[in-house]
Amino acid sequence: MESSSTSGRVEMPSEFEPRRLVRRALPVLAALVVLTLVVVLAPGLDQVRQRLSGARPGWLVLAVLLEFLSGASYVLMFRPIFSRRMSWRASSEIAWSELAMSSLVPASGAGGLALGAWILRQAGMPADQIARRSVAFFLIKSSVNFIAVAVIGALMAVGLVGPHRSLWLTAVPAAASLLVIGGVLWARRLRRGSDPAPGAGRLSKALAKTRDALIGGTAEAIEILRKRDPLVIIGAVGYWAFDNAVLWATYHSFGHVPALSIVLMGYLIGQLGGLLPLPGGVGGVDGGLIGTLVVYGAPAAVTTAAVFAYRLILFWLPLLVGGIAFVLLRRGLNNPQRPELCSVPAATSNPASRLPGRAAGPDVDVVRLPALPGHLEDPP
């Protein structure tokens, strides 16, 4: 995965090379083009096209700003979870790059964590610590959605929040969310199994590492939340709230806004479509959101227009901002002025100093910079 040239330069894994990323982006762009052509040309969508042609630009500008604030909230919670000693510049570049990757990779954003994990590994954080904190980060980020559905669904079920909907659309999603939350809390009580035997295959070792990361990450997420770090709380809530607000703003742009409770309930359930293995989640998230919101009573035409605008913003803004951050990260990997990111070449013939899994030239090996006051192995 990791590589270096004979000069000791750190190179990103092949899957993060620009050419490979461009090839990965092409199917996503093609899917967006097809989706756009369907909306523009398909028969039976005249009302959707009328809504799109009557869009109010001011609300769309607000939606773009809200999506940027959602990304900024992601950055805000990234640093205290992974390492408070990481510079804000490095944490911002890593977090925005992850968001850009998530625009290209489905699985509701989990795919983008792979890039951040590699960067943090280069910066000196142990692999098991990265795995635990990646799980903790994902759980904390996702937990706000489930808590919101549990609370709003329960309030709608007992009639304290409108509009009235059947128990299947209120109490059942609330109960399902509580089961998920309970399952996560229960997972921390599981015991770690024995390590694989020395001759175990790759699959056994991978499953053991995944098990340990899930158990350790769940416990770490709970421990982080117990500290009530304001950056973590504000970041997690802001990431969820501002992204919901983007959909709310696009509805406003097309002249009809369902009840806020409907938008919030439809958001989580509809976003589950992003788990489908589709390029960039295109089609999965869109179909999930439109179908769920319509089932909850939102008008079909305006919902299709609002979700279409929401998805374009959700794809392009993180990709453009995160693309700039990714370029800055690549430049920083071998820049001595960015010691929190890079390893530097040094003349040595001591095999013990070699980094595991990294090739070196005959006269030059790669060694890490000395541990800085802000070394990433320190606990958050």
pLDDT digits (tens, 9 = 90+) for 237-289: 999 999 999 999 999 999 888 898 999 888 888 877 665 555 555 666 778 88
pLDDT given at position 19: 76
Residue type, 111: G
Q: Which residues of the chain have pLDDT under 50?
A: 1-6, 108-109, 343-375, 377-380
pLDDT digits (tens, 9 = 90+) for 14-49: 667 777 777 777 777 887 788 788 888 887 788 888
Strands 10-11 and 365-367, by their bridges, are unpaired
Report how far residue 117's alpha carbon sits from residue 130's, in angstroms, rounded to the nearest whole number: 6
| 11: three-class secondary structure by DSSP | strand
Closest to 71 (Cα-Cα) out of 321, 273, 330, 328 = 321
**CA dihedral for 87, 92, 93, 97, sign (positive or negative):** positive
Is the pTM of the predicted complex or chain greater than 0.85?
no
Query: Would you give the end-to-end CA distance of the chain in angstroms?
Result: 27
Report how far residue 119's alpha carbon sits from residue 330's, in angstroms, rounded to the nearest whole number: 10
Report how far residue 73's alpha carbon sits from residue 237's, in angstroms, rounded to the nearest whole number: 8
pLDDT given at position 114: 73
β partners of residue 346: 365
DSSP 24-89: HHHHHHHHHHHHHHHHHH-TT-HHHHHHHHT--HHHHHHHHHHHHHHHHHHHHHHHHHH-TTS-HH
**CA dihedral for 317, 292, 259, 152, sign (positive or negative):** negative
The pair of structure tokens assigned to 287 is: 């179909």
Count, residues in the chain:
380
pLDDT given at position 9: 64
CA 248 to chain centre: 21
pLDDT given at position 350: 36
DSSP 250-298: HHHHTT----HHHHHHHHHHHHGGGGS--GGGTTHHHHHHHHHHHHTT-
Report how far residue 71's alpha carbon sits from residue 78's, in angstroms, rounded to the nearest whole number: 11
Judge whether 340 and 289 are in contact, CB under 8 Å.
no
b/e 165-193 (16+ beta carbons within 10 angstroms → b): beeebbbebbbebbebbeebeebbeeeee
pLDDT given at position 375: 43
Report how far residue 364's alpha carbon sits from residue 178's, in angstroms, rounded to the nearest whole number: 56
Label residue 337 exposed, middle or buried (CB < 10 Å: 0-12, 13-18, 19+).
Answer: exposed
